[in-house]
Amino acid sequence: MVIVAGKYGLDPSEAKLAGKLHLIARQLREREMIAYLNSREIRLMSRLPDEYKRTSYLTGPASAWLALEELDQRIDSLFRGIREHTLLFKKANALAQCLFISTVLIRMPNEDPRAAVLMREFLAGRGYKVLKALNKREIDTLEKTDIRRIARISNPDMGDAS
């Protein structure tokens, strides 16, 4: 996470903290997460199609709110980065993109040479090539939700739930 943060020009300690906090809402069941967010993300939840009301998409906003309310993490860029890392928002900040790309690239099997190529491209500052490659489904190991979320960074006109 710290290496990827460096490519985005982010504060390494903030990126490391975001990396630790971005999944804290995974402890909630899907119903609990939806109920929790219904009172905090009224606009988002009212506009969000049912297909996106799943743990994989809602973890970001729920984790951000838990970090704010339960752990008193009040850094705005940290809140936004965690909140937006599942890419439900058209204008995800750099920390959100860093979290997402780190999560996707690290989750790929180490034996996959295509993942190594994409990691090399990313570390060389060519994140747009990584996003483009992932959008074209060149990596078999990605889940469909990952591909949809990546498309939200590289194709901002795809739609916005924010």
Task: Tell me the pLDDT tens digit for each residue of 72-94.
Answer: 999 999 999 999 988 777 778 88
Question: pTM surpassing 0.75?
Answer: no
Residue 120 has pLDDT above 90, yes or no: no
Q: Which amino acid belongs to residue 46?
A: S
Question: Domain boundaries in the chain?
Answer: 2-158
Give the model's confidence band at 162: pLDDT under 50 very low, under 70 low, under 90 confident, else very high. Answer: very low
Q: To the nearest whole percent, how much of the chain has pLDDT over 70? A: 68
Name the one residue in this structure whose structure tokens are 């498309």: 151
Q: Is 144 exposed, middle or buried (0-12, 13-18, 19+ CB in 10 A)?
A: exposed
Q: Characterize 30-42 residue by residue with b for buried, 16 or more Cβ atoms within 10 angstroms of its Cβ, and e for exposed.
A: eeebbebbeeebe
Report pLDDT for 110: 57
- Tell me what pLDDT residue 34 has: 96
Residue 156 DSSP label: G
pLDDT interval class at 52 (50, 70, 90): confident
Looking only at Cα atoms, what is the longest distance across the chain? 44
Q: Does domain 2-158 have CATH number 1.10.3210.10?
A: yes
Residue 139 has pLDDT above 70, yes or no: no
pLDDT at 72: 95
Task: Show Cβ contacts of residue 102 under 8 Å, excluding neighbours closer than 6 positions.
Answer: 1, 4, 19
